[in-house]
Amino acid sequence: MNKFKNALLTFGIIASLCFSVSAQDENESCFDCHDDNELTGINHHGEEVLMFVTSDSTNLSVHADMLCVDCHTDLEGFDDFPHEEELALVDCANCHDDVAEEFAMSAHGKAQHNGLTPNCASCHGKHNIRSSDDADAMTSKHNLSFTCANCHEKKMISEDPDIKLTSTSGRYMKGIHAKRLSEGVETAATCNDCHGVHDLKKSNHSDSRVNKTNVPKTCSNCHEEVYVKYSRGIHGKALAAGIMDSPNCTDCHGEHEILDHNDKDSPVNLANISDFVCGKCHNDTRMAEKYGLGKDRFTTYQDTYHGLALHGGSVKAATCASCHNAHDILPHTNPASSLHLDNRTRTCQKCHPDANDSFAASYTHMSESGEYGQLNHLIKIIYIILIVIVIGGMLAHNAIIFIRYLILRSRYLKANKAVKRLNGNLVFQHLIITVTFIILVLTGFALKFPQAWWVDALKFIGMFESVRGLIHRISAVAMIYISIHHVVYIMATKDGRTKIVKMLPAWSDIKEIKQNMLYYLGMSKEKAQFGYFDYTMKAEYWALAWGTFVMVFTGTVLWFPTFYTTYFPTWIVSVSETIHYYEAWLAMLAIGVFHFFFVIFHPDQYPMSFTWLNGDMPEEEIKHHHPRWYKELQDEKANDINSLEE
């Protein structure tokens, strides 16, 4: 019997070789022309293509034992070479009618009319078709993503002016499946494993493997154990029941760029899963109301130690999946749930080995309508009332003391000799710039931080967006006016010209900075001898001048963008927005940290300098802080006395 089998096998091999040799002989007349590597022709799309075909390429093909005319059927029996340039399209259905029928019903098959979809040769090749088990085949696991990319990475698809499709092949290559495949894991999923082969359907088709309801089953081909858990969980059950809002595998893990959960960029990474996966649905008020999920479940989790620690960078803090599980998620009322009363303690013990039933029952992130919610709500109300009464009382107490010190300071200044440092015009200018600056800061940052508590307070008194924007612009106009007023004052008045000259930077400022720091560091007993303006005043003045110019220019760009984009590049608006925002921060911090210190919080000025209100500076203060100016004043007095005596 074995001898008979061996004989049949030998006969088959010999017959196959003979037929192959015969096929090669009959194809020689074709190779006589097509063996020319410069031979070109015009395809059915009117494009010039290379017609070069070698016997070596066909010999390695799965069709090596076939004749050229078996595919190019309109040349069968033809012997008057050269043949017509345009031949009939090869119809693979002549041999593969079952596959052709399946392909015709696929997404690719139904879109053949648009000229962009693949045909048999697009995926399998033409004369060099190999078995998908062959490592060099276009359809082998290692080459398939590149084969699909030939179409799915085309500009006409990825850069459609209306429908923007992401680089699916490129994203797949970044994912865990492509990585595992490159490491030699032959079971790693490729395009065909998820989308199908010849029966590939659009994702909105009910029979598509990547249809929302079918994705879990598709993933189960490799992840059967996970699929079982998911199917018995609330998400799997809901999706099977037709609730399309329920997540499937790709909703949580991503589609093509599926990353290992240890990858920091993975949506299911410890640091991301709560905010970017679970929170996507459970922080949606519409979803919560639609399915009765309970309000504020997600935000209350964020306010717990677990949520806060996770945002703080903890790698141990519990995420949603830590307590609710990742795939077999069930309501806490289900006996199989990890949060059922009978299982809750064991769940806590995964992180807290010593946890007992009382400890497990103490943690909840349910809203105020849930367990302990009413008690917590009552305690919160009591504390809010307590804070208002206690802190309000403290503020009132301190305000009385502060006001008293202001009165005493005012009386002291009136009782002592003072020099007029700022006239009424300058006091007016300073007052306007102070008021407009504070209003601009408040109304500007209110736009940037609409959720801040102090913005809610502004809204409570009626400062909604329309009012806020109007007040901000009115204040901006007032600041522009006072800036122009100041420039005119400098140019048109003797006092203005005198003061701007004194405000100019000088080399002596550098010496005074050094001497001032040495004195306050205890390294010198000699104080800096400041004149009419010290270096801090000069720095603040010129910073204010520059900052005002920058804020006015960028502010008007944002106010009148259509005008500016007529004469400037388009980036002027975006760049102005960035400059306007950060210049506002710089100005606010500089005023708060530097100017307020010297005017209010400096030990010699506290509780406040009154010069900005009445323009007067006591002689004692001048003698102490501006000794050079004080000497100038004494010299002027002496000169005046001498003049009178003469």
- Reported as a single tens digit per residue, the pLDDT across 31-61 is 778 887 888 777 776 777 788 887 777 788 8
Query: Is residue 509 domain-shared with residue 381, that is, in the same domain?
Result: no
Structural domains in the chain (count): 3
Instruction: For residue 319, tell me if it sits in a domain.
Output: no
Asked if 387 and 380 count as a contact pair (C-beta separation under 8 A), the reply is no
Q: How far apart are CA 184 and CA 142, in angstroms?
A: 10
pLDDT band at 6 (very low <50, low <70, confident <90, very high): low
pLDDT band at 301 (very low <50, low <70, confident <90, very high): confident
Query: Is residue 462 domain-shared with residue 610, that is, in the same domain?
Result: yes
Quote the domain boundaries for residue 377: 373-407
Instruction: For residue 519, tell me if it sits in a domain.
Output: yes
| Boundary (domain end) residue, out of 90, 123, 151 | 90
Instruction: For residue 399, tell me if it sits in a domain.
Output: yes
Asked if 306 and 317 count as a contact pair (C-beta separation under 8 A), the reply is yes
Query: Is residue 481 domain-shared with residue 531, that is, in the same domain?
Result: yes
451 pLDDT higher than 60: yes
3-state secondary structure 310-354: HHCCCCCCCCHHHHHCCCCCCCCCCCCCCCCCCCHHHHHHCCCCC
Element of type H or E holding 42: strand 40-42
**Tens of pLDDT, residues 543-599:** 999 999 999 999 999 999 999 999 999 999 999 999 999 999 999 999 999 999 999
Query: Is residue 513 domain-shared with residue 378, that is, in the same domain?
Result: no
pLDDT attached to residue 165:
65
Instruction: For residue 416, tell me if it sits in a domain.
Output: yes
pLDDT attached to residue 372:
60
Q: Which residues contact 208 (CB under 8 A, 6 or more apart)?
A: 196, 200, 201, 202, 214
In angstroms, what CA-CA distances link 207 with 218, 492, 618? 11, 84, 90
Claim: this prediction has a pTM higher than 0.85 = no
In angstroms, what CA-CA distances link 12 with 18, 19, 241, 615, 621? 10, 10, 56, 115, 117
Task: For residues 303-321, give the mean pLDDT.
Answer: 88
Asked if 178 and 145 count as a contact pair (C-beta separation under 8 A), the reply is yes
Query: Is residue 399 domain-shared with residue 474, that is, in the same domain?
Result: no
Contacts 24+ apart (CB under 8 A), 396-402: 402/607
| Boundary (domain end) residue, out of 55, 90, 125 | 90
Query: Is residue 482 domain-shared with residue 379, that is, in the same domain?
Result: no
Query: Is residue 480 domain-shared with residue 571, that is, in the same domain?
Result: yes
Query: Is residue 39 domain-shared with residue 67, that is, in the same domain?
Result: yes
Cβ-in-10-Å burial (0-12, 13-18, 19+) of 480 comes to middle
**Tens of pLDDT, residues 155-176:** 556 566 666 666 788 889 999 9
Instruction: For residue 323, tell me if it sits in a domain.
Output: no
Task: For residues 628-643, give the mean pLDDT.
Answer: 81
pLDDT band at 17 (very low <50, low <70, confident <90, very high): very low
Instruction: For residue 344, tell me if it sits in a domain.
Output: no
Instruction: For residue 461, tell me if it sits in a domain.
Output: yes
| Count of Cβ atoms closer than 10 Å to residue 344 Cβ | 20
Query: Is residue 415 domain-shared with residue 557, that is, in the same domain?
Result: yes
Query: Is residue 509 domain-shared with residue 621, that is, in the same domain?
Result: yes
Query: Is residue 547 domain-shared with residue 399, that is, in the same domain?
Result: no
pLDDT band at 239 (very low <50, low <70, confident <90, very high): very high
Instruction: For residue 66, tell me if it sits in a domain.
Output: yes
Q: What is the CATH number of the domain that holds 484?
A: 1.20.950.20
Characterise 531 by phi-psi region: left (phi > 0), alpha (psi -120 to 50), beta (else): beta
| Boundary (domain end) residue, out of 385, 407, 429 | 407
Query: Is residue 503 domain-shared with residue 626, that is, in the same domain?
Result: yes
| Count of Cβ atoms closer than 10 Å to residue 387 Cβ | 10
